């Protein structure tokens, strides 16, 4: 009974955070979803493509249920799943992610929570569905957090889902940031005097 509850709870959280990650692309231009926004090239569409690949590998190959999508071998991973090429459209990548969800959801639905799997790229490769669900949920949440920050940098939009989004109050944000800046400056000045 607890196993079913745990599996359903984790699966529900994964479904919610997947949608949040996709929402971060909403109403942005092709350029803004693709352009590198950090020194390492992190970009919004690349995060979606990466998570599609992760779900396809983790809920496919790991449990002997190969993804119906053509995937590169994990041994050959070269970072190309972290950005979109010119010939890959937003729609193609979103569709790939949603098909990866369907395959993952089928794996989650068909296996018991202690179903065994094998992650050949991990130092301790023998795993269970529970462990992989935690890992993928953690990875998706991490990248959705990255997407939150990237989106906020682009146009100020924040939040988990559209229905919870509040109108941007630029004056209140500027006041809040100024307060934080003053605190940071005071701390730096105090450290300099102490040093």
Query: Contact at 8 Å (CB) between 109 and 7?
Result: no
Q: Diameter of the chain by CA atoms?
A: 63
Mean pLDDT by 10 residues, the chain (195 residues): 90 97 96 97 97 95 88 72 94 96 97 96 96 98 96 90 82 91 91 83
Tokens representing 14?
A: 């994964």
Please state the φ and ψ torsions of residue 152, each to the nearest 5 degrees.
-60, -40
Query: Model-level pTM?
Result: 0.91
- How far apart CA 147 and CA 153 sit, in angstroms, is 10
pLDDT of residue 125: 96
The CATH number assigned to the domain with range 2-164 reads 1.20.120.450
Tokens representing 112?
A: 């018991």
How far is C-alpha 25 from the chain's CA centre? 12
């Amino acid at each position: 009974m607890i196993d079913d509850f745990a599996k359903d709870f984790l699966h529900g959280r994964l479904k919610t955070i997947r949608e949040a990650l996709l929402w971060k692309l909403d109403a942005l231009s092709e350029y803004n979803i693709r352009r590198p926004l950090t020194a390492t090239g992190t970009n919004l569409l690349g995060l979606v493509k990466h998570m599609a690949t992760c779900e396809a590998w983790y809920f496919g190959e790991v449990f002997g249920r190969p993804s119906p999508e053509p995937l590169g071998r994990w041994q050959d991973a070269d970072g190309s799943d972290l950005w979109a090429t010119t010939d890959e459209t937003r729609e193609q990548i979103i569709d790939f992610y949603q098909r990866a969800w369907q395959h993952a959801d089928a794996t989650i639905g068909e296996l018991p929570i202690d179903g065994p799997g094998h992650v050949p790229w991990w130092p301790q490769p023998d795993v269970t569905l529970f462990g992989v669900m935690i890992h993928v949920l953690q990875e998706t949440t991490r990248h959705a957090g990255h997407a939150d920050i990237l989106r906020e940098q682009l146009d100020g939009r924040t939040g988990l889902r559209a229905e919870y989004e509040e109108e941007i109050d630029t004056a209140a944000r500027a006041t809040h940031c100024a307060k934080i800046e003053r605190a940071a400056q005071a701390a730096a000045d105090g450290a300099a005097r102490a040093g």
